[in-house]
Copies of this chain bind each other. A is one copy, B any other.
Amino acid sequence: MDDPYVVIMAGGRGERFWPQSRLRRPKHLLPIVGDTSMLAQTVARLEGLVPPERIFVVTNLEQREATLEACPSLLPNHVVGEPVGRDTAAAVGLAAILVNRASADAVFAILPADHLIEQAERFRGVLRTAFEAAAREEILVTIGVLPTEPATGYGYVQRGESLFDLQGRDVYAVKRFVEKPDLDTASQYLESGDYFWNAGMFVWRPSVILAALQEYVPDLRAGLQELEDVWRLEDDLDDGMDKVYPDLPRISIDYAVMEKAPNVVTVESDFDWDDVGEWPAVARHFPADQAGNVTRGKVVSLDSQGNLVISPEGRLTALLGVKDLIVVETADATLICHRDQAQEVKRLAKEISRREDGANWT
């Protein structure tokens, strides 16, 4: 097996983490949980399995420099900026031709930049199995995350029969991908033991995913081919992107390929996983006081329960008689949000950016 590659998908805007996240400072560039950015943690988590020189990052052009600053161990020409966002199928296709160019026979993993996995050794073990499976067969491997609760915010993968065993792990056929379920359905999924969370982590060879794109999204494959042709003539990766990218079809990899292809398999994982999708998720990763408050920075609370408070250096935040709030302060902005409304922070950020001088804060 050739040395495997990793392509990290770092295209997020991170509006859900306003006011810490901003247009040029999205979630994966922030130390939302931990001391370094989520992206730097993602790179560090691969230590011993895939070194930085075999890691690519697909981000957007605006964040390219900030991404390089956040991860100085990456090769500058391995951090590629999309001039416009074209959903995940295009980004995956771009990843495939990047790896293809470096090593045509290598397997590679697609990994999100901003998820939290604390059990790194187990994570690398699962990836190792997936790399070996993808090197051996013409398959599209998805990492199936074992659900720990009946979550309604994720898509699920239903496993079929066990196809083979590698390094003590079963590799299963995939029966189907399902969209975010309602709570009852999610509870059934959890109970059955046959469903995994679709965490957006995939492993395959460039030739296999490109063949699938050719089959299901031929326009996208054609656009990628055009890009490869430009790259063959010139050494600057950015050349061609501006010209080709805006015309690529806008479709998700799940919808375009994963839900349709017959050769999709899944490797069951045994590591912890949290996509840390919004502020309340952050609270799970820090200890709470006796009243259930999670606080970072200088915070005083009286008669207050179940709050998450993040206060920056030099500031004091005081709570009195409040419950279940998310309070996040930066040097120039404050969010005060009911816990149950955290999924609306994105809408709030958009509302702010629409204001006369909103750009100062978004």
Residues on A lying within 8 angstroms of B by beta carbon are 18-19, 298, 300, 302-303, 311, 314-322, 325, 327, 329, 332-338, 340-341, 344-345, 347-348, 351-352, 355, 357, 360-361
Q: Which A-B residue pairs are the 8 nearest by beta carbons? A: A321-B341, A320-B337, A321-B338, A316-B333, A316-B361, A317-B334, A320-B348, A320-B341
- A302 cross-chain contacts in B, Cβ below 8 A: 344, 347-348, 351
* Known A302-B348, A322-B337, A327-B334; 4 more pairs at CB < 8 Å: A300-B351, A316-B332, A318-B333, A318-B336
Q: A322 touches which one: B336, B345, B355 (CB < 8 A)?
A: B336
Instruction: Tell me the smallest distance from the CB of A201 to a CB of chain B, in Å.
Output: 31
Copies in the complex: 2
Given A316-B332, A351-B300, A352-B300, do A337 and B321 touch, yes or no (CB 8 Å)? yes
Instruction: Tell me the smallest distance from the CB of A321 to a CB of chain B, in Å.
Output: 3
6 sample A-B contacts, Cβ–Cβ < 8 Å, listed by A number: A19-B316, A302-B348, A320-B336, A321-B340, A321-B341, A329-B334
B332 touches A320 (CB 8 A): no
B321 touches A334 (CB 8 A): no
B345 touches A332 (CB 8 A): no
Complex Cα distance, B298 from A357, in Å, reads 10
- A298 cross-chain contacts in B, Cβ below 8 A: 357
Complex Cα distance, B326 from A318, in Å, reads 11
- A322 cross-chain contacts in B, Cβ below 8 A: 325, 336-338
- A351 cross-chain contacts in B, Cβ below 8 A: 300, 302
Instruction: Tell me the smallest distance from the CB of A11 to a CB of chain B, in Å.
Output: 25
Complex Cα distance, B280 from A129, in Å, reads 62
B336 touches A314 (CB 8 A): no
A341 touches B300 (CB 8 A): no
B303 touches A344 (CB 8 A): yes
- A314 cross-chain contacts in B, Cβ below 8 A: 332
Instruction: Tell me the smallest distance from the CB of A296 to a CB of chain B, in Å.
Output: 14
A327 touches B336 (CB 8 A): yes
B336 touches A325 (CB 8 A): yes
- A320 cross-chain contacts in B, Cβ below 8 A: 335-338, 341, 344-345, 348
- A338 cross-chain contacts in B, Cβ below 8 A: 320-322
Complex Cα distance, B78 from A16, in Å, reads 57
Complex Cα distance, B319 from A347, in Å, reads 12
Complex Cα distance, B357 from A83, in Å, reads 48
Instruction: Tell me the smallest distance from the CB of A256 to a CB of chain B, in Å.
Output: 34
Which of A319, A327, A336 has its CB near the most chain B CB atoms (within 10 A)?
A336
Instruction: Tell me the smallest distance from the CB of A309 to a CB of chain B, in Å.
Output: 8
Complex: chain B residue closest to A361, CB-CB? B316
Instruction: Tell me the smallest distance from the CB of A340 to a CB of chain B, in Å.
Output: 7
Q: A332 touches which one: B303, B315, B327, B352 (CB < 8 A)?
A: B315
